Amino acid sequence: MKVFGAAAAHAGIQYETVEYDIGGDRYLATGEVLPDSVLEELRGFDAIYLGAIGHPDVKPGILEKGILLKVRFELDLYINLRPVKLYPGVPTPLKDKGPEEIDFIIVRENTEGLYAGIGGFLKRGTRDEVAIQEMINTYKGVERCVRYAYELTQKRNKENTLTLCDKANVLTYAHDLWRRVFDEVGEDYPDIKKEYAFVDATTMWMVKNPEWFDVVVTCNMFGDIITDLGAMIQGGMGVAASGNLNPESVAMFEPIHGSAPRYTGKNQINPIAAIGAAGMMLDHLGHEDAAAKVETSISDLLASGKIKDLGAGRMGYTTEEVGDLIAEGL
Ligand code: IPM
Ligand code: MN
């Protein structure tokens, strides 16, 4: 918020914020995860900025389902946008690859697929148990996601290539639909090169030939998995930002990482992913120049070599100082 504020001040952007205390501490104190009244209020904002989710004393799933997934689904934030961009000066585990090669963006469908939460058990707790988890793919849901990806590919100044990452060779219903919709919508974008990659092969190529990718569109579950891989090749969770968008209404921005509870209150965690998310938020709000300044400031700081390591406690600066450096760099 400090960097967002500084960028807004430079650009003369007026804004108002409302803060909500949502998360593990509140849940433990009151039993409330995300009250309906808050959810209703969230619908009315232009953008939502979400800190990381997770608390060591809360059973896994409660906060994730009760906050993050609930907001994504209830507010119909159907696009999860996850840039995979290696900043200069940041080490990647990929041999002989640099910022030129690692610069693509993953469009993850964000409201359907295996995340729909539909399924059940038969004979639960017995040796005959069967657990069923259904995958929902609707024509409308796939179409709006794929169309967004085509539009984005057209706007980006790279190879103008859109890759559909799926598993159409095995998921012969669900991903048959994806392929048909991908081709059908693609007819409206004759200048865009279409590629198809199975998800297993995608993980291989992301490591071996990341330069092949420009925009990748994929379903919710595969997007979840390949964006963690994407985060690693761009230098780790410390730099990976994301946006959950409903292009027609509200959007929510967040770092991809979790809450790193080991570091709570220590002023040691890396804020760059969260700051990058604030930059994406400016862009979404129509302030492309201010967003570009945030990006440049992050990039300049990383290129300067001042930050020793991107890991918490190893940066050579506190969280606050890294925020100050990026705000000053604007
Ligand atoms: C992510 C996270 C979430 C997801 C979890 C916390 C529910 O891993 O944003 O990628 O699976 O979508
Ligand atoms: Mn994830």
- Asked if the model's pLDDT at residue 159 lies above 90, the reply is no
**Alpha-carbon span 296 to 290, nearest angstrom:** 10
Average pLDDT across the chain, whole number: 97
* Residue in 59, 64, 84 to alter for ligand 1 test, most ligand atoms within 8 A of Cβ: 64
The sheet carrying 79-85 orders its strands as 47-49, 251-255, 241-245, 79-85, 103-109, 215-218, 161-166, 193-198
pLDDT value of position 202: 98
Containing 175, the helix (H) or strand (E) segment is helix 174-186
The catalytic site residues sit at 115, 167, 200, 224, 228
What is the CATH topology of the domain spanning 1-78+251-330?
Answer: Isopropylmalate Dehydrogenase (3.40.718)
| pLDDT tens sequence across 58-68 | 999 999 999 99
In percent, the amount of the chain with pLDDT more than 90 equals 99
**Ramachandran region of residue 44, left (φ > 0), alpha (ψ -120 to 50) or beta?**
alpha
For tokens 């988890």, the residue is 133
Question: What are the residue boundaries of the structural domains of the chain, listed by start?
Answer: 1-78+251-330, 92-234
| pLDDT tens sequence across 22-57 | 999 999 999 999 999 999 999 999 999 999 989 999
pLDDT value of position 134: 97
What is the distance in A from the centroid of ligand 2 to the CA of 258?
9
**How far is C-alpha 54 from the geometric centre of its chain's CA atoms?**
16
Residue nearest to atom 8 of ligand 1 (CA): 224
Residue nearest to atom 9 of ligand 1 (CA): 256
What is the distance in A from the centroid of ligand 2 to the CA of 222?
10
**What's the average model confidence in pLDDT over 93-103?**
97
Ligand that comes closest to the CA of residue 225: 2
| Atom number, ligand 1, closest to the C-alpha of residue 54 | 6
**Alpha-carbon span 136 to 111, nearest angstrom:** 9
Beta carbons of 117 and 70 less than 8 angstroms apart = no
pLDDT value of position 84: 98
pLDDT value of position 158: 83
| Atom number, ligand 1, closest to the C-alpha of residue 242 | 9
**Alpha-carbon span 163 to 144, nearest angstrom:** 16
pLDDT value of position 157: 79
| pLDDT tens sequence across 188-210 | 999 999 999 999 999 999 999 99
What is the distance in A from the centroid of ligand 1 to the CA of 284?
21
Which residue type does 139 have? Answer: Y
What is the distance in A from the centroid of ligand 1 to the CA of 35?
20
List ligand 1's pocket residues with C-beta within 6 A. Answer: 53, 64, 68-69, 224, 256
- Asked if the model's pLDDT at residue 98 lies above 90, the reply is yes
pLDDT value of position 7: 98
Asked whether the domain spanning 92-234 has the same topology as the one spanning 1-78+251-330, the reply is: yes
The CATH H-level (homologous superfamily) assignment of domain 92-234 is Isopropylmalate Dehydrogenase (3.40.718.10)
| Atom number, ligand 1, closest to the C-alpha of residue 80 | 9
Sign of the alpha-carbon dihedral angle for 30, 31, 37, 38: positive
Ligand that comes closest to the CA of residue 244: 1
The 10 Å Cβ neighbour count of residue 16 is: 6
DSSP state of 261: G
CA-based nearest residue to 137, from 220, 198, 224, 65: 220
